[in-house]
Chain A
Amino acid sequence: MKKKKRKKYDGMDIFSFVALTLLAMSIVIPFWNAVVISFETSSAYLNKPFSWLPGEFTLANYQELMRQGEGLVRAYMNTIKVTVIGVAAGMSIMVMSAYAFSREFPGKKGLFMVMLFTMYFGGGLVPTYLLIKNLGLIDTHAGVILLGLSSTYNIIVMRNGFQSIPVELSEAAVIDGASDPAIFFKVMLPLQKPMIATFTLFTAVGCWNNWYWPMLILNSRSKVLLQIFLRSLINATSALTQQEMIESADAIRSYSLGIQMAAVFMVVLPIMLVYPFLQKHFAKGMLVGGVKM
C-alpha cells in the first residue's frame, strides 16, 4: 500500500501503533520470560516470577540439563539426523512430483486424484500404528522419517510455482532437444531456487518440530528426539504440578522449571537462527502458490 506521507498523526495511527506494539510485546515477553527463568536461580524465581533480567544469574539450569540428560545431546544429534535425512529425501520426492504434475501427460488427472485423496482422508491412528508395527518400524528413526516424508499440500504449492514459469522457456528448451530431466535440472530448478529454499526450510522446521508419531513409535532412550525429550522433562514434573494446586510455592518445581525453560530455549534456538531466512522467502514463495486457489 502506497500512501502519500501525511504529516500529522491521527487517531488511527496512534491506535494501530499501540495495538500492534501490544501484540508484539505479548509475543516477545513470554519467550523473554522463559529465557530469563532459564538463567535464574530457583530462589530468584520464587522471589519474583516475572522479571526483565535474571534476578540472580546462573548457568546451573543448563549444567543440570546437560548432566541429567546425556539425553539432551543425544536428542540433538538424533533430531539433526532425522531432520537432514527427512529433508533430503522428502524434498527430492516433493520437488520431482511437483515438477511432473506441472507438465502434461496421459493419466495425470487420475494420479493427481490418487494423491489428493490422501490429503482429505486417512486410515487413522490404529491402522497406521499397526502398519508401522507390521513393517517392523517401531522404535526406529526410519519409521519417523518415512511417516512424515511428503506433504501433498507442499507438492501442490510447488507445482503452482513451476507452472508460473512461462511455457516459452521450457518450450525453447524442448526445441533445443532438451529432455524432461534436462529441463527439470537446467531450467526449472535454477528458476525456482527461492521457492525450493523456502520449502526446504519449511520441511526442516516440520521435522524439527515433529513429536506425535515419534512419541508413539520411539521408546528406547537412545532414539529420543528433542520434542520428546522436552515432553518427558515436563511429564517428569507433572506429578508436582498437581501438588502445586494445593500449595503454590514449591521450591522443587521452580527449580525444575528452570531446567524446563533451559530445554525450551535449546529447542527453539535453531528455529530462531533459520527464521530470518525463512521469513525473507515465505511471503514470496508461499503466497505465490498458496493464494492461487
Chain B
Amino acid sequence: MEKRGDMQLKKGKKTARKVWKARYLYLMLVPLFIWLIIFHYGPMYGILLAFKKYRANAGIWGSQWVGLANFRRIFITPDSLKAIRNTVLISLGRIVFGFPPPIILAILINEMRGRKLKKVYQTIYTFPHFLSWVVVGVIMTNLLSTNGAVNTLMAGLGMEKVSFLTDKTLFVVMMFITGIWKGVGWSAIIYMAAIAGIDPALYEAARIDGASRLQQIRYITLSGISATISIVLILQIGQVMNAGFDQIFNMRNATVAGAVQILDTYVYDITFEATPNYGFSTAVGLFKSVINFTLLMTANVVVGRLTGQRLYSSE
C-alpha cells in the first residue's frame, strides 16, 4: 500500500494523499475483491470452453478449439430450440399473469380497514417468499396430486378429479399460480411503499368532490404508483431469460418435463446426463447469459431514462 502511495506521489501529490487517506477503505474491500476475482471472474475463464471440445484430461486450455461449432449446434438441435422457445413463452406468461396480482394486492391492502388484521395478513402473505422451492415444491406437489387436498375438496363439491401435475397445459398454469402464490406478498411491498408516498390530501379532496372509492383507486392510487408500475414492468421484461429454474426443477416430473424445459433446466440436464458435452453446455449457458446481460442492461437504461437516476450507480 505504502509503495503504491509513493509511486503516485511523483505523479500527483493530491491523488496519493487521497489514496493514503482512504487506505482503510481499500483494506475493507480487499476480501470482497479476492472473492469476486476467484469465484466470479475465475469461472469466466472457463467460458473458453464454449469454443472448444472439452476433454477432461486436456483441461480447459488444452482442449481443442472448435470455433463456433457449439453455437451452431444450438440452432440445429431441436431440444435447445425448444428450450429457448419455452423460456421466452413461460417468462411472458409469468409477466402476463403474474404482473397484475401484486398491484391488486397492494391496492386491496390499502383499501382494507382494520390495522391489526392488515398487519397479520401482510405477515402471512410475505412468508412463502422466505421458503425454498424445494419446500414449496413438496407442499404444492402433494396438494395438487390426484389424491391431494385440492382434488379431495373438488370431489367434495361433486367435480371430476383433475391431473394438475401430469397434464402439460395445466402444469404450466400451476407453475404460474404457485409462482404467484409464493411471490405476490413480497412483490406487493414495493407498490405499498409507493402508495404510502401518495399525499393523503389528494384522497381528501377527491372525497369532497364526491369521487367514489373506485374512482379514487383509479385516479389517485393507480396514477400515483404508475411510475413504479412501469419500472417494475421494464425490469421484469429484462428478466425474460430467467424463466424460474428453482420452481421448475423442483416441481417437474417425467410426464411434463418437455413442456417446461427452459434454458436453465436444459443446461443442467445436458451437463449431468450420461455423456455430457461440456463445450456445448457452456455454449448454451453463454448464449443465455449474453442475451440476459443485454436485456438487463437495456432495461436498466430505460428505467434510468424514466426516473432520471441511474439504477445501481456508484454514487
What residues of chain A have their CB less than 8 Å away from a CB belonging to chain B?
Answer: 1-3, 9-10, 12-13, 15-17, 19-21, 23-24, 26-31, 33-34, 37, 48-50, 92-94, 96-97, 99-101, 103-106, 108-109, 111-116, 118-131, 135, 146-147, 149-150, 155-156, 179-181, 184, 205, 209-212, 227, 230-231, 234, 238, 241-242, 244-245, 248-249, 257, 260-261, 264, 267-268, 271-272, 275-276, 278-279, 282-283, 286-287, 290-291, 293
Contact = CB atoms under 8 A, between A and B. Distances in A.
Instruction: Give the dominant DSSP class at B's interface.
Output: helix
Contacts of A279: 123, 126
Contacts of A249: 147
Interface string B190-231: 100111101010010000000001100000000000000001
B25 A120 contact: no
A23 B125 contact: yes
Nearest to B133: A211
A128 to B, nearest CB: 4
27 contacts: A1-B110, A13-B111, A17-B112, A30-B149, A49-B148, A49-B152, A93-B35, A96-B32, A101-B314, A105-B25, A113-B314, A121-B289, A124-B43, A124-B47, A130-B278, A149-B35, A181-B24, A205-B130, A209-B130, A245-B166, A248-B146, A268-B131, A275-B123, A275-B127, A278-B130, A290-B190, A293-B311
B44 A127 contact: yes
Interface in B227-266: 231, 246, 250, 253-255
A159 to B, nearest CB: 9
Given A124-B289, A231-B134, A146 B123 contact: no
A127 B132 contact: no
B49 interface: yes
Interface centre among B24, B195, B250, B297 (most CB of A within 10 A): B24
B67 interface: no
B303 A105 contact: no
Contacts of B153: 50
Given A33-B143, A127-B47, A279-B123, A93 B286 contact: no
B193 A27 contact: no
B71 interface: no
Q: Is the interface of A mostly helix, strand, loop or mixed?
A: helix
Interface in B125-183: 125-128, 130-132, 134-135, 138-143, 145-149, 151-153, 161, 163, 166, 181
A150 B35 contact: yes
B28 interface: yes
Contacts of B44: 121-123, 127
Q: Find the residue from A211, A244, A293 having the highest chain B CB count within 10 A.
A: A293
A135 B189 CA distance: 41
Interface of B: 15, 18-19, 21-22, 24-26, 28-29, 31-33, 35-36, 38-47, 49, 60, 105, 108-113, 120-121, 123-128, 130-132, 134-135, 138-143, 145-149, 151-153, 161, 163, 166, 181, 184-185, 189-190, 193-196, 198, 200, 203, 213-214, 231, 246, 250, 253-255, 267-268, 271, 278, 281-282, 285-286, 288-289, 292-293, 296-297, 303, 307, 309, 311-312, 314
Contact of A123 (B43, B288, B293): B43
A245 B314 CA distance: 55
A125 B285 contact: yes
Contacts, number: 273
A15 B189 CA distance: 21
B285 A100 contact: no
A49 to B, nearest CB: 5
B36 A118 contact: yes
Given A12-B213, A131-B43, A181-B24, A106 B190 contact: no
Nearest to A276: B123
Contact of A122 (B40, B193, B213, B303): B40
Contact of B40 (A12, A28, A118, A156): A118
A212 B312 CA distance: 27
